[in-house]
């Protein structure tokens, strides 16, 4: 007799606990002067370690405190960046167009930073903001004609773990169901920004004629839910697979599930990135810079952002061909940053600036926007 056996898994996404010192990725760059690549590498390494410390400081202080203590940080902390780094690993390095780059992952001693910076004054009146990127993941799996749904849920969970892992988060299991009410309650209780909910149905495809193989069909729908329960994005996918058995690690069921979830997740990834990149740990605004033709153009945009009122620091997060993703540590809204860049645009660069509905900022260098003359 056919049975419908639901299997639920629910997980909380959060930044690593403070007990384990965090790792931060950073990219340092320095021009190669007179062919001295060794000196350029050292300067790029120092810059990368400084950026890692800036990210670590942002997990200790609120955005308002970052602004208030900017002078203290520049004088006492950032020049001693190496002393706050427990260990680091170079991920990539090399010279490109006369600029040496060092991409690394550094473990920062936030405990040492806390001792160096001291406890915030009791009368500061500044609220301590949550330092965690939080989200719920809930997938409901139904398998017809098989009694191994718990095992078959694992590949779906693994796919979601990998995608959220790319957002620099870890999974903390929770035991809740996937109903609208339960998800919204969990989001509120844990101060989470959103949830990824999946509904997965697997059916048996039957034996493949002339072989010993059996088939399975998987259909999945992934949804991105906002904190109030509204579905802001969704993606669907279906996959067929074949194997020597239905269940098991290499069975047709798991293969179909893994491929269907992966396809749906790829379609949903841009929405996930926009959701959890704009809500940055420690507070700040996510900025995407496009149309970069020269390193000097990138530097000009960074300097313009650094010069805006209320900006504590500008941290590079990711570099692609002609693009860069930055995190501006500030309590200022993206719309205010956009207005500031419009009033005082980067020097020598045409830009178009737009604040997104998700709290992020887009700066297009190739657009027909404002331009400030270069200083002579």
Tell which of 108, 143, 166 closes a domain. Answer: 108
Q: How many structural domains is the chain composed of?
A: 3
Contact 233, 268 (CB under 8 A): yes
Say which residues have a Cβ less than 8 Å from residue 349's Cβ, sequence separation at least 6.
297, 300, 301, 365, 371, 372
Range of the domain at 98: 23-108
Percent of the chain with pLDDT over 90: 10
Q: Do 11 and 160 belong to one domain?
A: yes
Alpha-carbon distance of 20 to 166, in angstroms, equals 19
Is there a domain that residue 242 lies in? yes
Does residue 15 surpass a pLDDT of 80?
no
Tell which of 258, 276, 294 closes a domain. Answer: 276
Contact 157, 217 (CB under 8 A): no
Is there a domain that residue 126 lies in? no
Express each pLDDT in 83-97 by its tens digit: 999 999 888 888 888
The CATH number of residue 103's host domain is: 3.30.1660.40
Q: Do 150 and 257 belong to one domain?
A: yes
Contact 362, 356 (CB under 8 A): yes
Most confident of 29-38, 132-141, 150-159, 312-321: 29-38
Tell which of 276, 298, 316 closes a domain. Answer: 276
Q: What is residue 1's predicted lDDT score, i.e. its pLDDT? A: 39
Is there a domain that residue 307 lies in? yes
Q: Do 260 and 298 belong to one domain?
A: no
Is there a domain that residue 371 lies in? no
The CATH number of residue 298's host domain is: 3.30.70.100
Contact 273, 232 (CB under 8 A): no
More confident residue, 193 or 172: 193
Is there a domain that residue 122 lies in? no
Is there a domain that residue 162 lies in? yes
Q: Do 205 and 136 belong to one domain?
A: yes
Express each pLDDT in 122-173 by its tens digit: 333 333 333 455 667 777 777 655 555 555 566 677 777 677 665 555 554 5
């Amino acid at each position: 007799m056919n049975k419908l056996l639901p299997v639920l898994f629910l997980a909380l996404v959060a930044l690593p606990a403070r007990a384990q010192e965090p790792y931060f990725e950073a990219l340092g760059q320095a021009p190669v002067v007179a062919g001295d690549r060794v000196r350029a590498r050292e300067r790029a390494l120092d810059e990368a370690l400084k950026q890692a410390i800036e990210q670590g400081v942002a997990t200790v202080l609120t955005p308002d405190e970052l602004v208030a203590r900017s002078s203290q940080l520049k004088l006492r902390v950032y020049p001693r960046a190496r002393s706050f780094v427990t260990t680091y690993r170079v991920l990539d390095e090399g010279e490109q167009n006369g600029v040496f780059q060092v991409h690394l992952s550094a473990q920062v001693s936030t405990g040492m930073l806390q001792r160096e910076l001291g406890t915030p004054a009791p009368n500061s009146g500044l609220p301590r903001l949550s330092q965690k990127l939080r989200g719920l993941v809930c997938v409901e799996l139904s398998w017809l004609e098989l009694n191994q749904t718990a095992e078959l849920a694992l590949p779906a969970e693994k796919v979601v773990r990998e995608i959220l892992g790319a957002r620099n988060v870890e999974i903390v299991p929770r035991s809740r169901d996937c109903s609208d009410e339960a998800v919204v309650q969990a989001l509120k209780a844990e101060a989470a920004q959103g949830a990824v909910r999946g509904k997965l149905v697997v059916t048996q495809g039957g034996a493949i004629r002339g072989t010993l193989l059996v088939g399975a069909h998987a259909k999945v729908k992934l949804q991105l839910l906002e904190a109030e329960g509204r579905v802001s994005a969704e993606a669907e996918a279906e996959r067929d697979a074949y194997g020597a058995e239905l269940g098991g690690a290499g069975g047709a069921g798991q293969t179909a599930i893994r491929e269907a979830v992966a396809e749906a997740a790829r379609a949903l990834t841009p929405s996930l990135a926009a959701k959890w990149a704009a809500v940055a740990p420690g507070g700040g605004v996510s900025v995407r810079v496009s149309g970069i033709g020269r390193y000097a153009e990138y530097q000009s945009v960074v300097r313009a952002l650094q010069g805006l009122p209320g900006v504590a620091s500008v941290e590079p997060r990711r570099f692609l061909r002609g693009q860069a993703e930055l995190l501006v540590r500030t309590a200022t809204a993206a719309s205010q940053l956009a207005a500031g860049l419009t009033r005082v645009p980067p020097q020598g660069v045409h830009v178009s600036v737009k604040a997104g509905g998700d709290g992020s900022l887009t700066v297009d260098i190739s657009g027909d926007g404002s331009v400030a003359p270069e200083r002579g």
